[in-house]
Amino acid sequence: MIVYDNRFNTNEWFIIGGLCVGMALVIFLPKRFPTKNTIVYFMCGVYSGFFFDHSLSVEPVSYYDVNDKSAFQFMDFLSYLSYGPMSYLFFYIYDRIRPKPSHIPLYILIWSLTAVGLEWLAVRTGVFHYLHGYKLAYSFPIYLIVQSCWIAFFHRYHNVRSNERDEAAR
């Protein structure tokens, strides 16, 4: 096990601060979705972060470590929770602006660049420690794919919900 740090410092504050700001936005933005949808959209980020961090940061590949140790810690759990507000905001803004189909790639590009920027800050504060030649640029296509899947999920989910409402009204 690699130990990068034993103190409570910048990386922990970055996670706590990001989680607090993100949760404040989720709580204080005007309600846009039913509670069930809000939870689903929030969990998309938590699941995606957990899935990719555990796909890329564990043996046999282990391209990076999260936080102070290569072993799982409570702060790692909080870092996964901090992905939730980002996915919620992604869906919230998407639903709010309803981009034309021709503008959806631009929306995904902007969010992917934002995610890379936040990951860059996370690297600078010691949340991520890249190993075995992993580079920040490798995360960009992952964000593009994940957010494209989120858009497809959003439309599929809303079509299913619309059909359920139509059938219930009959």
Q: For residue 85, is it within any domain? A: yes
Q: For residue 1, is it within any domain? A: no
Please report which confidence band the pLDDT of residue 135 belongs to, taking 50, 70 and 90 as the band edges: very high
- Kindly tell me if the per-residue pLDDT of 157 is higher than 80: yes
- Which of 25-34, 56-65, 92-101, 109-118 has the least mean pLDDT? 56-65
Q: For residue 3, is it within any domain? A: no
Q: For residue 4, is it within any domain? A: no
pLDDT, average across residues 15-27? 97
Q: For residue 82, is it within any domain? A: yes
- Count of alpha carbons within 13 Å of 56, Cβ hemisphere only? 22
The pLDDT of residue 161 is 67
Which residue has 């905001």 as its token pair?
A: 89
- Kindly tell me if the per-residue pLDDT of 87 is higher than 80: yes
Q: For residue 5, is it within any domain? A: no
Say how many domains are in the chain.
1
- Which of 6-20, 59-73, 105-119 has the least mean pLDDT? 59-73
44 phi/psi in degrees, rounded to 5: -60, -45
The pLDDT of residue 104 is 98
DSSP string for residues in 36-71:
HHHHHHHHHHHHHHHHHHHHHSSTTT--EEETTBSS
Whole-number average pLDDT of the chain: 91
Q: For residue 121, is it within any domain? A: yes
Domain containing residue 104: 10-169
- Kindly tell me if the per-residue pLDDT of 159 is higher than 80: no
**Residue closest to 128 by CA, chosen among 21, 43, 5:** 5
Q: For residue 31, is it within any domain? A: yes
| CB distance 143 to 110 below 8 Å | no
